[in-house]
Structure 1
């Protein structure tokens, strides 16, 4: 229900005291005043009074009443108001105390006021506005908490259009945003207050004198502040792109087709916002890197949910922490929420009195019912630790399995890591990173994961650095030879993972990337299963 509709019902029903938790005082006052003055919403229009510790009780005509700066005196004066009114008190929460004892005189006067307003001859309502929710037990039955929503996309768009109009005429700032670009900016600012959104847009304009798509990062930086204050989510800098992830073409195509699916253009097609993906498979094969790359490719903030931070504190706090984390993620939407090694986070145990089960249940219910554009990327290494409730349809859009890289993928992985680390000509020396070298390295690294290939490049560079010389081909081969890959030390485990994924997951690797002519069946530590994909072979 819209805020104005909900407020009008409460005013007509003569609820005596309403509590609105918000940092946006002026916006709240404007909304409350609009409802109070509208005869179509409340039947009897009401005058609006305001109070603060600095101004005292201010009458509807703007005249302050004398000797009403103290909360006690202001509440006494409010009790004597004899006209249909809405009295807005700002920042009364320090006198209420919350989990600490409040000011006895204020609490008692509020209870008296609630009784008087409920049964009085004229409609009167007290509205408390505060950035914090402090409510002592004595007032729990007399005060009604009302949710005041953050600005809608339409409201933020109006602020953005107003700033653009005000600065376009001057000619000092160039605007390079079409209508779709403005929509992306407005959606990126969802979860911010109007003041924060206005600050973010102004900063983006003054950053380089041009407002274009690259300035979305400035809006995301403003959101970072909101996320940090929650203490439960981590705002991760997504500096890699999907091109930096070697292989996994099937998964990349699936993700690329869903780019922009949270925009109005997709809604016009009748498309819902994608829920997310579960990526499981062999450790070190790019699952976590993919999460970072998706956020960068889509231009969305990346939030990491550390389940360990959720399970902390007093009894019942874990459940509250999960709800707070979910609210923060939804306030930051559209965004990507990354849950790494989800099977370990919700493993729980018999000695936690069911806390893990309750928190996990809250998370599953939210994933099923969520309406905000929060794309969840969960990664898992241990398929046996995945609860069946997590795997059923409706939680994730798809489950992908990441196997050890194929020869084509290993070639791509070698190319990415060598290009990244051989930017210095002195380090590269005369080493030609061509197809011949890449094919040779891909052949020698059969059965190695992407993380192991990266460490082979790092190991070769350490050998070269120790002698203060350029990197040679033999440095890379020696690093490979000195390493025992996971496909050897955990061969049985990897085969079990492949067997599980064969009928339960979609292969992240495209079918055409498997060279079955040279790698039939299970011939070698890095070979796929007989089906060739280690997962359901579906093309996107």
Structure 2
């Protein structure tokens, strides 16, 4: 539930007289602010109290009044006896739910403060219809864990994370409060909003202050997005990467790069609404091993300015019945919570159960079913990038449109692409590509993959360093001559893969 929807839901519940609310939130401050906002909306003149086990009961009025009531039983008794309209926001009460006596006391308190519609609905032991005092209890907790004893008495509201509107207001507030001289345009503000989605209000403010300290008063989207690492690492279900590979470092693959660049505009809300664009679902890259599929995934995340989360389906597998499927659901929920992001599923074919094998585990089938259903129905801005080597193993349900926006086949690089790959990797190593005969190097590496070309350069540099000499063409040509690329050692299999891609009309990435 969004911020605004949660605020309206809480307001309606209070005005409708609901005595017990359970607010699911990871950030208590906005929830408390909402109850203050509700108290100001009505002529009932509600007092707003907060309670936690450390500080006790606090009346949050213009003059804050603290009462040293840390004991939850005493606190509930205070609620019963309080003679004015009030909202009691209880932060730590859920940790005592194992105490059955406390649950019964809470139930009794709720029945005591419930205001019946008429005398016919009243309980004589609890109600005084002629002199009603409107009191409400709101329990805040990070997850919904409702005891059976309270199931029919409680109203649950999930207080969502800040949306685009709330984040835009936060940006304006913090820029004003810090007297920042930096002025951002609309497009830059949109990028900051995208980076902030998935964070709580407190996390957003902390990230903005840190970014402004690091960047001379500027809020940098990448700095803000990096705060999401903490969320991911605490769960242990996904791996977090801050991609540092640029699309400019990709040799060849121009059709794929052009396709990715077009998709970025869909993450600008104004453009998306103007043209009726759908949020991209993602893409599947398959093809020859060593041709840059994983490298491209990092470059996509970097270009979109999204954090990259790696999903290793093997790590989600658990020997206990049902836990593997639950781990997959939690991983998917985590990706959605911190979206927009790129969810990278490397070698998805290894996670797909082999229908011809009698040993195929039922758990694997259910995990894949959970993943594919989510990919089909997802609404959150999670851009899925999957790779596969064993493309014949891919079942029709993963190949059809709707799971991915497109499936690309990455073949061995052509001559011009090999020249680009040599140039890029030589530059990265600090060499000037124009001092080498790139034309000759490209000719000599017919049938080499991108990773094999990179290995040639690395090994040549090692040999030159060992000889205490500068890297020259002779080192590169010698290493090329000593290398047996996969196109030679696995030629028949490679031809089979290429023919399969042609017959199935996969879109070519190069």
Structure 1-normalised TM-score?
Answer: 0.83
Displacement, 1:397? 0.9
Distance in 2 (CA, whole Å) between partners of 1:116 and 1:18 is 15
Asked whether 1:418 is paired with 2:426, we answer yes
Displacement, 1:79? 3.4
Which residue does the alignment assign to 1:245?
Answer: 250
Of the three residues 313, 316, 322, the one matched with 2:322 is 316
CA spacing shift, 1:316–1:205, aligned 2, 3 Å: same
Give SS of 1:198's match.
helix
CA spacing shift, 1:181–1:65, aligned 2, 3 Å: closer
Q: Tell me the number of residue pairs that the alignment of Structure 1 and Structure 2 aligns.
A: 487
Which residue does the alignment assign to 2:185?
Answer: 178
1:501-527 residue CA offsets vs partner (Å, 9 max, x unmatched): 223410001xxxxxxxxxxxxxxxxxx
Alignment map for 1:196-275 (pairs within 5 Å): 196-211=203-218, 215-267=220-272, 268-275=274-281
Distance in 2 (CA, whole Å) between partners of 1:143 and 1:247 is 59
Asked whether 1:104 is paired with 2:109, we answer no
Which residue does the alignment assign to 1:327?
Answer: 333
Structure 2-normalised TM-score?
Answer: 0.87
Contact 2:48 2:89 in 1 (8 A): yes
1:304-360 residue CA offsets vs partner (Å, 9 max, x unmatched): 122223223633222222222222222222221111111213438866863222222
Structure 1: gaps spanning 5 or more residues = 97-101, 510-540
Displacement, 1:467? 1.7
Of the three residues 170, 173, 186, the one matched with 1:162 is 173
Contact 1:307 1:346 in 2 (8 A): no
Larger RCO: 1 or 2 (CA < 8 Å, sep 6+)? 2
Give SS of 1:260's match.
helix
Alignment map for 1:3-18 (pairs within 5 Å): 3-11=6-14, 15-18=18-21
Query: Which stretch has the larger CA shift, 497-506 or 273-282?
Result: 497-506
Alignment map for 1:71-110 (pairs within 5 Å): 71-81=72-82, 85-96=86-97, 102-110=98-106
Distance in 1 (CA, whole Å) between partners of 2:55 and 2:449 is 67
Q: RMSD in angstroms over aligned alpha carbons? A: 2.7
Asked whether 1:297 is paired with 2:303, we answer yes
Distance in 1 (CA, whole Å) between partners of 2:340 and 2:211 is 19
Alignment map for 1:337-376 (pairs within 5 Å): 337-347=343-353, 354-376=362-384
Distance in 1 (CA, whole Å) between partners of 2:425 and 2:16 is 67
Query: Which stretch has the larger CA shift, 243-252 or 492-501?
Result: 492-501
1:194-242 residue CA offsets vs partner (Å, 9 max, x unmatched): 2211121122222142416xx2221122222222222112221211111
Displacement, 1:84? 5.2
Contact 1:18 1:128 in 2 (8 A): yes
CA spacing shift, 1:16–1:321, aligned 2, 3 Å: farther
Displacement, 1:35? 3.6
Give SS of 1:338's match.
strand
Contact 1:47 1:85 in 2 (8 A): yes
Give SS of 1:258's match.
helix
Structure 2: gaps spanning 5 or more residues = 117-126
Distance in 1 (CA, whole Å) between partners of 2:156 and 2:346 is 36
CA spacing shift, 1:5–1:484, aligned 2, 3 Å: same
Give SS of 2:409's match.
strand
1:77-135 residue CA offsets vs partner (Å, 9 max, x unmatched): 32345665432111123212xxxxx2233222123334445565555432111235555
Query: Which stretch has the larger CA shift, 190-199 or 16-25?
Result: 16-25
Distance in 2 (CA, whole Å) between partners of 1:386 and 1:439 is 38
Alignment map for 1:359-508 (pairs within 5 Å): 359-423=367-431, 433-434=435-436, 437-502=437-502, 503-508=504-509
Query: Which stretch has the larger CA shift, 399-408 or 253-262?
Result: 253-262
Query: Which stretch has the larger CA shift, 255-264 or 138-147?
Result: 138-147
Distance in 2 (CA, whole Å) between partners of 1:452 and 1:353 is 36
Contact 2:240 2:308 in 1 (8 A): yes
